[in-house]
């Protein structure tokens, strides 16, 4: 058995969360190695929304200006009824930036990933591809990862940022993914192809409809236009293995307004993303192995926090390393990882549980039909544009300790179902 050179930190997974954690910890003077299972580093997908709690982290990493240059700063977020095409509510994103001190951006996933990758390279993070981890092992004073090749590598701490189907999650928790029965189709095209389709070129727009929704926003300085079509699959509900198929896409948006109908032909039909999450867990630390990002808290995407939570995870770990070193007046000294991971494990799981459960409830809110849809529309139309009751708990500064975690928003009853977000 060959054993690779020992690092201070091993990060398993070279996605947005893994690279963000590697960058944050390398900025604390730690030697970090990232192992990616794929042949190269990259991100699959199209658009990504980054709320102020995410752009705040990017600013602290010195990446905000670069990400802003490649993205778009929309003027507003607008929610419309997918059947009628009428506006339900909106957020003024310019005022939102003033309130929280950081912008709301939309960008291509690969642009954000590329910025993090270049920053890691500049920080001399060791970046290795074609390394598939098959097992995690705690050893005296650290942890070891075992690769499919038969080799191993060890470090003081191992961060498992290995995604929704995490090997570490399977090994230490053993739970299953939760199938929402919803599927997403995406499409990003030159904006000229969409200009005649009743689009908003300066806003993030979501049309909410019975068992479906449709998202649109510009990308890459307004040169591209991103769309996401999401719907509940009857085949999934029937227990069929092949579900979320293009024929279901063709029928899922029957009866929706003209703007949605115009956008559907631009969707990529050769790829689809089935929507899974997991039930929240309150422990992410297993000896010297730490879960991060989707390995710890894969959400449904309804409040656009998946990538942001992963960035926040790495930032919180790095900040607790920094706080520990400053408190001991020993910059660059060895890290007491037990103390750091204890602090991380106290604050992050509780926050991310709120986000995961709120995402589920928000998804149900979007997809109501009948009387509940009518009640929802009345409530949303009554909301003041500048009411931040439902964003303050999420978009403010990332908490480092539980006492910094803000109170969640109040409950509103909608028919027989509570819209309360479960904060445990």
**Total Cβ atoms within 10 A of residue 299:** 23
Question: Residue 217 catalytic?
Answer: yes
Phi/psi of residue 402, each to 5°? Answer: -65, -30
Q: Three-state SS across 95-108? A: HHHHHHCCCCEEEE
For the chain, report the end-to-end CA distance as a whole number of angstroms: 45
Catalytic residue among 217, 286, 302, 395: 217
In angstroms, the CA 391 to CA 389 distance is 6
Cα separation, 292 vs 337, in Å, equals 15
Give every CB contact of residue 72 below 8 A, 6+ residues apart in sequence: 105, 106, 107, 217, 218, 219, 220, 221, 222
| Cα gap 420→365, rounded to integer Å | 11
Q: How far is CA 251 from CA 85, 110, 119, 188, 208, in A?
A: 18, 31, 44, 21, 16
**From CA 112, how far away is CA 306, in angstroms rounded?**
14
Q: Catalytic positions, please?
A: 217
């Amino acid at each position: 058995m060959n054993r690779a050179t020992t690092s201070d930190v091993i990060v398993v997974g070279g996605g947005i969360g893994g690279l963000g954690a590697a960058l944050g910890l390398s900025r604390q003077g730690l030697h970090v190695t990232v192992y990616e299972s794929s042949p190269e580093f990259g991100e699959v997908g199209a658009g990504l929304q980054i709320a102020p709690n995410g752009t705040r982290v990017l600013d602290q990493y010195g990446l905000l200006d670069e990400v802003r240059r490649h993205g778009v700063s929309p003027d507003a977020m607008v929610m419309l009824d997918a059947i009628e095409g009428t506006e339900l509510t909106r957020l003024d994103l310019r005022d939102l930036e003033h309130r929280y001190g950081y912008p709301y951006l939309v960008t291509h996933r690969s642009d954000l990933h590329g910025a993090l990758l270049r920053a890691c390279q500049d920080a001399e993070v060791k970046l290795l591809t074609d390394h598939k981890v098959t097992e995690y092992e705690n050893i005296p004073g650290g942890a070891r990862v075992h690769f499919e090749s038969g080799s191993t590598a060890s470090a003081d701490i191992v961060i498992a940022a290995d995604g929704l189907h995490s090997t570490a999650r399977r090994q230490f928790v053993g739970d299953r993914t939760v199938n929402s029965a919803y599927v997403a189709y995406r499409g990003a095209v030159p904006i000229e192809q969409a200009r005649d389709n009743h689009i908003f070129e300066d806003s993030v727009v979501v049309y909410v409809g019975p068992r479906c929704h449709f998202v649109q926003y510009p990308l890459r300085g307004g040169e591209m236009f991103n769309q996401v079509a999401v719907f509940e699959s009857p085949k999934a509900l029937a227990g069929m293995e092949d579900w979320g198929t293009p024929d279901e896409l063709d029928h899922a948006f029957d009866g929706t307004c003209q703007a949605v109908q115009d956008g559907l032909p631009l969707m990529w039909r050769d790829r689809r993303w089935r929507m899974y999450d997991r039930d929240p867990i309150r422990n992410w630390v297993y000896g010297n192995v730490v879960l991060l990002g989707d390995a710890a808290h894969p959400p449904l995407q309804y409040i656009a926090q998946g990538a942001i939570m992963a960035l926040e995870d790495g930032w919180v770990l790095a900040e607790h390393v920094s706080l520990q070193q400053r408190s001991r007046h020993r910059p660059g000294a060895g890290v007491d990882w037990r103390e750091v991971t204890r602090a991380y494990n106290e604050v992050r799981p509780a926050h991310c549980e709120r986000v995961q459960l709120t995402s589920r409830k928000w998804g149900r809110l979007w997809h109501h039909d009948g009387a509940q849809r009518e009640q929802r529309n009345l409530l949303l139309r009554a909301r003041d544009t500048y009411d931040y009751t439902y964003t303050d708990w999420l978009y403010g500064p990332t908490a480092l300790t539980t006492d910094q975690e803000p109170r969640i928003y109040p409950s509103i009853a909608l028919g027989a179902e509570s819209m309360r977000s479960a904060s445990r």
